[in-house]
């Protein structure tokens, strides 16, 4: 199979009109596909309204027990089920999943080093048989950023990481393309200036931009996951605006292409 793994960021989801436009595009996107979604913006807003202030380190959320409850409710419940319901209205059969459903994604709790991330999971295994079964029935899996450890514990897991791990696991037997859609034109030299787009970025350019502190926060794990996917057999990785997704799928220069060399 040729499979597209598409990750959509929380900033897009948080704007109803933009989210609807993306979901219509996803429903009409050719071929079999997997959707992975974030939701950090909404989780932070709802958590703050409950007196649970978000705590971030290098673009990754530190997750204590209260925060885990919030992100589980928001990611796996509120956001995931609304996305699935809307996709059904556009004729795309879909199923909303956490890593616990069907034992889809198992993770281990991140060990404490210089930072204790709390209930954060690092992916260990993706159940590709489950995904293949769904995809063969033209059912699009829609993953929230929640996994489990196989021992009854849910874990908050970076959505970019989930997208990368799903793509690399499927790439062992299939041709897989990975798309990161978010609220920027692609990787930008200046986050506030779309004209500073970097159309192609490889590991050497990434290291330089990192050292120059051009890239920071959530873009760091996003690019780390992109390079990890390429190293493990994913054929193409792209980043950019959701509305440019179809152009990117046709190989047109409409965002940032990630290259391993």
CB atoms within 10 A of CB 44: 21
**80 closest CA partner among 143, 4, 26:** 143
* Tokens found for residue 258: 């990630």
Quick check: 216 and 41 in contact, CB under 8 A?
A: no
User: Is position 40 annotated in a ligand binding site?
Assistant: yes
Token look-up 């885990």 returns 68
User: Is position 99 annotated in a ligand binding site?
Assistant: no
User: Is position 39 annotated in a ligand binding site?
Assistant: yes
Phi/psi at 229 (5° precision): -65, -45
* Tokens found for residue 77: 């419940």
User: Is position 45 annotated in a ligand binding site?
Assistant: no
> For 189, which DSSP code?
S
- Give, for 43, the enclosing helix (H) or strand (E): helix 40-49
**Distance between CA atoms of 162 and 202, rounded to whole angstroms?**
21
**Distance between CA atoms of 158 and 197, rounded to whole angstroms?**
24
Please report, in range form, the residues annotated as the binding site for substrate. 39-40, 61, 156
- Binding-site entries: 39-40, 61, 156
């Amino acid at each position: 199979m040729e499979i597209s793994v598409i990750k959509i960021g929380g900033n897009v989801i948080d704007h109803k009109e933009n989210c609807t436009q993306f979901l219509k595009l996803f429903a009409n996107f050719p071929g079999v596909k997997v959707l992975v979604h974030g939701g950090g913006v909404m989780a932070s807003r709802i958590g703050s309204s409950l007196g649970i202030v978000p705590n971030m380190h290098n673009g990754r959320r530190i997750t204590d027990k209260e925060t885990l409850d919030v992100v589980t409710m928001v990611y796996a419940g509120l956001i995931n089920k609304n996305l699935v319901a809307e996709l059904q209205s556009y004729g795309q059969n879909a199923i909303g999943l956490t890593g616990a459903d069907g034992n889809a994604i198992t993770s281990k709790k991140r060990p404490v080093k210089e930072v204790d991330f709390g209930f954060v999971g690092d992916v260990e295994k993706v159940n590709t048989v489950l995904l293949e079964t769904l995809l063969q029935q033209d059912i699009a899996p829609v993953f929230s950023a929640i996994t489990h450890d196989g021992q009854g514990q849910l874990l908050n897991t970076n959505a970019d990481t989930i997208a990368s791990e799903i793509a690399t696991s499927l790439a062992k037997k299939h041709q897989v393309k990975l798309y990161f859609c978010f609220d920027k034109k692609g990787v930008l030299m200046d986050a506030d200036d779309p004209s500073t787009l970097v159309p192609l970025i490889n590991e050497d350019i990434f290291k330089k931009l990192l050292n120059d502190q051009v890239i920071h926060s959530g873009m760091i794990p996003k690019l780390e996951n992109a390079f990890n996917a390429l190293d493990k057999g994913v054929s193409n990785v792209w980043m950019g605006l959701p509305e440019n997704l179809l152009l990117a799928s046709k190989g047109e220069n409409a965002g940032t292409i990630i290259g391993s060399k």
